[in-house]
Amino acid sequence: MAKKLPSAALLRGPRINPKPITGRERIIELVDNAFLAYNAGRLKEACHLFTERMLKPNVTIGMSLTGAMTPAGLGMSTIIPLLEAGFVDWMISTGANLYHDAHFALGLSLHQGTPFANDVELRNKGVVRIYDIFFDYSVLLSTDAFIREVSAREEFQKPMSSAEYHYRLGGYIRQREKALGLGRKSVLGVAYELGVPIYTSSPGDSSIGMNVAEQALSGSKLRFDVSADVNETAAIVLEAKRSGGKSAALIAGGGSPKNFLLQTEPQIQEVLGIDERGHDYFLQLTDARPDTGGLSGATPGEAVSWGKVDPDMLPGTVVCYLDNTVSLPIITAYAKARIGKRRLKRLYHKREAMMARLVREYQAALRFRNDRAVKAKKVRT
């Protein structure tokens, strides 16, 4: 028979006794007072995990981003404020988010529409729809032309990590914003100024990759070095741990960027053979269920079994089942109200030093494995 816990041990949580909402609440007051249960309760836990543990100065925060967030305006409303406040130190995004992010910096317009439009009529009138977002087909053509013009420049004619490509592209995007007299509209432009490296886990799976592929047919030497992406992201996480800090994963959505962020630890431990324990904090905002077996809904507990999350840190994990267009702005507002700003790490400019540490530890681990194999062979013979 299972041992019964004293009722006092089960009833230690705060009483549910919220104050009536007046309409004068600040975001901190609203979340802490009214978000008490169900997914609102998980969102409050997410806000607390982010501000109380993940935003400590010695924590390096990687963010993954999926879904059509930037065309919905979340680049300007949410992600740029997170970067400027020092709340995100490096990113992995779908290429689509970075491509649509560029529209705003080029002075192109996207509009609120309706999900109930006639798509045949939209196609006939040259209007593209992302659910309830409308924009003219020329927006795509103009952005394509800009990406091809920039990517054809001499400095791009070599293999490079996606972080280097996005950094260089972000510099030109920021120049265009300034020439047009625009404010900070682009995530890529802000990341360039702040030295925040942005990777994409599938470089060919977006209009950016499609335009780069088109130029390859004309002799361009630009190639995305996916091995550099794998090793650089692992180096960022290893540096966070070896410098006396912690590593945190802020996962907006799921998909390939989520895996690319979390696979840094199996890359360090399983493939490179370096002694490590997994990410320290795991905060996921998702609408995907775990029972379908897809990665997007996979829980932090499941990630522990892969070595992606430190098993001792499971209390430092939260999964919030909520649309990211709702959860991300609330978490951002809560963090800015409670923390304000954090020192920028400017990790893009530290890539060489971080890679040097990764290589040293890998070579030491390789020597250890080889020595052990030689000793085992001698014992057998």
Gap between the Cα atoms of 243 and 246, Å rounded: 9
Give the pLDDT of residue 319: 85
Q: Are 65 and 78 in contact (CB under 8 A)?
A: no
Low-confidence ranges of the chain (pLDDT < 70): 1-6, 288-315, 374, 377, 380-381
Give the pLDDT of residue 168: 98
Pick from 128, 226, 119, 105: nearest CA to 176:
105
Give the pLDDT of residue 309: 63
**3 found inside a domain:** no
**332 found inside a domain:** yes
Give the pLDDT of residue 381: 64
Task: Find where tokens 């004309």 sit.
Answer: 218
Q: Are 254 and 288 in contact (CB under 8 A)?
A: yes
**What are the backbone angles phi and psi of residue 252, rounded to the nearest 5°?**
-100, 100
The b-or-e profile of 220-253 (16+ CB within 10 A means b, else e) is: bebebbbebbbbbbbbbbbbbbeeebbbbbbbbb
The four Cα atoms 347, 352, 358, 360 give a dihedral, to 10 degrees, of -150
Q: Are 256 and 282 in contact (CB under 8 A)?
A: no
Structural domains of the chain, count? 1
**13 found inside a domain:** no
Give the pLDDT of residue 261: 95
**343 found inside a domain:** yes
Could you list the active site residues?
308
Which domain range does residue 48 map to? 25-380
**80 found inside a domain:** yes
Bridge partner list, 249? 62, 282
Q: What CATH number corresponds to the domain at position 111?
A: 3.40.910.10
Bridge partner list, 62? 90, 249
Gap between the Cα atoms of 31 and 88, Å rounded: 22
Give tens-digit pLDDT for 215-273. Answer: 999 999 999 999 999 999 999 999 999 999 999 999 998 889 999 999 999 999 999 99
Gap between the Cα atoms of 252 and 91, Å rounded: 11
Query: HEC states along the chain?
Result: CCCCCCHHHHCCCCCCCCCCCCCCCCHHHHHHHHCCCHHHHHHHHHHHHHHHHHCCCCEEEEEEECCCCCCCCHHHHHHHHHHHCCCCCEEEECHHHHHHHHHHHCCCCCEECCCCCCHHHHHHCCEEEECCEEEEHHHHHHHHHHHHHHHCCHHHCCEECHHHHHHHHHHHHHHHHHHCCCCCCCHHHHHHHHCCCEECCCCCCCHHHHHHHHHHCCCCCCEECHHHHHHHHHHHHHHHHHCCCEEEEEEECCHHHHHHHHCHHHHHHHHCCCCCCCECEEEEEECCCHHHCCHHHCCHHHHHHCCCECHHHHHHEEEEECCHHHHHHHHHHHHHHHCCCCCCCCHHHHHHHHHHHHHHHHHHHHHHHHHHHHHHHHHHC
